[in-house]
A and B are shown apart, each in its own frame.
Chain A
Amino acid sequence: MFDIDKWQEILSTIKKNKLRTFLTGFAVAWGIFMLMVLLGAGNGLSNGVSSNFQGNAINAMWIWSRETSMPYAGFQSGRSIQLEMSDYEAIGEMENVDKISARFWIGDRTYAFQSEYGTYNTQACHPDYKIIENFQIKTGRFINNIDMQYGRKVMVIGADIQDALFKNIDPIGQILRVGNVPFKIIGVYNEIDPREGTRQGLIPLTTAQKLFNAGDRIHNLALTTHDITKQESEQVEEDIRNLLAKNHKFNPDDERAIGIYNSLENYVETMNIFRTIKLFVWLIGIGTLIAGIVGVSNIMLIVVKERTKEIGIRKALGATPGSIIGLVLLESILITALAGYVGMFLGISLMEGVNFMMEQQAQAQVGAGGDRGEFRMFMNPTVDLRIAVSAMMLLVTAGALAGYFPARKASSVKPIEALHDE
Chain B
Amino acid sequence: MITLKNIHKSYFTGSNSLHVLKGIDLEINQGEFVSIMGSSGSGKSTLLNLLGILDNYDKGEYHLDGKLIRNMSERNAAKYRNETLGFIFQSFNLISFKNAMENVALPLYYQGVRRKKRNAMALDYLDKLGLKPWAEHMPNELSGGQKQRVAIARALISQPKVILADEPTGALDTQTSYEVMDILKGIHKEGITIIIVTHEHDIAAMTDKIIKLKDGNIGDLIINGDLASFKKNYAKELQTL
**Interface residues of A, Cβ cutoff 8 Å to B:** 4-5, 12-13, 16, 309-310, 312-323, 411, 414-416, 419-421
Expressed in whole angstroms, the Cα–Cα distance for A256 and B154 within the complex equals 95
Interface of A is mostly: helix
Contact A419:B89 (CB < 8 A) given known A310-B95, A318-B78, A319-B78: yes
Q: Are A320 and B78 in contact (CB under 8 A)?
A: yes
B49 close to A (CB within 8 Å): yes
What's the nearest-Cβ distance from chain B to residue A363, in Å?
Answer: 56
Q: Which of A5, A321, A416 contacts B54 (CB 8 A)?
A: A416
Q: How far is the CA of A318 from the CA of B48 in the complex (A)?
A: 16
| Interface residues on chain B, number (Cβ under 8 Å) | 32
> Which of B79-87, B182-190, B198-206 lies at the interface?
B79-87
Report which of A4, A13, A16, A309 forms a contact with B93, defined as CB distance below 8 A.
A309
- Give the distance to chain A from B200, nearest Cβ to Cβ, in Å: 16
Contact A316 B52 (CB under 8 A): yes
Selected interface stretch from B17-25, B106-114, B209-217? B106-114
Name A307's closest neighbour in chain B (CB-CB): B95
Chain B CB within 10 Å, residue with most, of A12, A312, A416:
A416
Q: Which residue in B54, B96, B106, B109 is a CB contact (below 8 Å) of A415?
A: B54
The reply to whether B54 and A316 contact each other, CB–CB distance below 8 Å, is yes
Q: Tell whether, in the assembled complex, residue B97 and residue A315 are in contact, meaning their CB atoms are under 8 Å apart.
A: no
Query: What are 19 A-B residue pairs whose CB atoms fall within 8 Å in the complex?
Result: A4-B115, A13-B97, A16-B97, A314-B106, A316-B87, A317-B81, A317-B87, A317-B107, A317-B154, A318-B79, A318-B110, A320-B75, A320-B78, A321-B78, A323-B110, A415-B52, A416-B48, A419-B89, A419-B93
Q: Could you say which residues of chain A place their CB within 8 Å of the CB of B48?
A: 416
**Shortest distance in angstroms between B102's beta carbon and chain A's nearest beta carbon?**
9
Instruction: Please tell me which one of the listed residues B45, B74, B78, B93 contacts residue A313 in the complex, with CB atoms under 8 A apart.
Output: B93
Tell me the B residues contacting A by CB distance below 8 Å. 45, 48-49, 52, 54-55, 74-75, 78-79, 81-83, 87, 89-91, 93-98, 106-107, 109-111, 115, 154, 158, 166
Q: Which residues of A contact B81 (CB under 8 A)?
A: 316-318
For the complex, give the distance between the alpha carbons of A16 and B49 in Å.
31
Name the residue of chain A whose CB is nearest to the CB of B170.
Answer: A421
20 additional A-B residue pairs with CB within 8 Å, beyond A313-B95, A416-B52: A4-B115, A5-B109, A16-B97, A309-B93, A314-B110, A316-B52, A316-B54, A317-B87, A317-B106, A317-B107, A317-B110, A318-B82, A320-B79, A322-B75, A414-B54, A416-B45, A416-B49, A416-B55, A416-B166, A420-B45
In this complex, what residue of A is CB-closest to B86? Answer: A317
Q: How far is the CA of A16 from the CA of B97 in the complex (A)?
A: 9
Complex: chain A residue closest to B96, CB-CB: A310
Please, how many angstroms separate the alpha-carbon atoms of A320 and B53 in the complex?
13
| A420 to B75 Cα, complex, angstroms | 22
- With A309-B93, A421-B90 in contact, do A315 and B52 touch (Cβ < 8 Å)? no
Highest count of chain A CB atoms <10 Å: which of B90, B93, B94, B98 = B93
* Residues from chain A with Cβ under 8 Å of B154 in the complex: 317
Residues of A within 8 A of B83 (CB): 318
Say whether, besides A310-B95, A322-B75, A421-B91, A5 and B115 are in contact (CB < 8 Å): yes
User: Which residues of chain A come closer than 8 Å to B94, judged between CB atoms?
Assistant: 313
Give every chain A residue within 8 A of B158 (Cβ-Cβ): 318
* Chain B residues, Cβ within 8 Å of A414: 54-55
How distant is the Cα of A320 from the Cα of B107 in the complex, in angstroms? 12
Q: Which residues of B contact A4 (CB under 8 A)?
A: 115
Q: CA separation between A390 and B116, bound complex, in Å?
A: 40
Which residue of chain B has the shortest Cβ distance to A15 in the bound complex?
Answer: B97
Complex: chain A residue closest to B46, CB-CB: A416
Q: What is the minimal beta-carbon distance from B213 to any residue of chain A, in angstroms?
A: 16
Cα–Cα distance between A416 and B11 once the two chains are bound (Å): 14
Distance of B187 from chain A, by nearest CB (Å): 17
Q: How far is the CA of A419 from the CA of B110 in the complex (A)?
A: 19
Which residue of B has the minimal Cβ distance to A316?
B87
Contact B74 A320, beta carbon cutoff 8 Å: yes
Q: Roughly how many angstroms separate A295 CA and B111 CA in the complex, as a whole number?
A: 35
Q: Considering the chains assembled together, what is the distance between the CA atoms of A4 and B81 in angstroms?
A: 24
- Find chain B residues with CB under 8 A from A313 CB: 93-95
Q: Which residues of B contact A420 (CB under 8 A)?
A: 45
Chain B residues lying within 8 Å of A312, measured Cβ to Cβ, are 93
Residue of B with least CB distance to A12? B97
Determine the distance from Cα of A422 to Cα of B198 in the docked complex, in whole angstroms.
17
CA distance A312 to B106 in the complex (A): 13
Taking A5-B115, A416-B45, A416-B52 as contacts, is the C-beta distance between A319 and B110 under 8 angstroms?
Answer: yes
Given A416-B45, A416-B48, do A317 and B97 touch, yes or no (CB 8 Å)?
no
Residues of A within 8 A of B78 (CB): 315, 318-321
Write out the residue numbers on chain B whose beta carbons fall within 8 Å of the beta carbon of A13.
97
B28 shortest CB reach to chain A, Å: 19
Query: What is the CA–CA distance of A414 and B52 in the complex, to the nearest angstrom?
Result: 12
A310 to B96, CA, bound (A): 9
| Cα–Cα distance between A235 and B60 once the two chains are bound (Å) | 83
**Do the beta carbons of B111 and A318 come within 8 Å of each other?**
yes
Enumerate chain A residues within 8 angstroms of B54, measured Cβ to Cβ.
Answer: 315-316, 414-416
- Chain B's nearest CB lies how many Å from the CB of A318? 3
A410–chain B nearest beta-carbon distance, Å: 13
Alpha-carbon distance A119/B82, docked complex (angstroms): 95
Cβ–Cβ < 8 Å partners of A309 in chain B: 93
In this complex, what residue of A is CB-closest to B48? A416
- Cα–Cα, bound, A312→B54 (Å): 10
List residues of chain B with CB within 8 A of the CB of A12.
97-98
Considering only CB atoms, which chain B residue lies closest to A3 in the complex?
B109
A residues less than 8 Å from B75 (CB atoms): 320-322
Q: In whole Å, how far is A10's beta carbon from the nearest beta carbon of chain B? A: 11
Cα-based distance from A321 to B110 in the complex (angstroms): 12
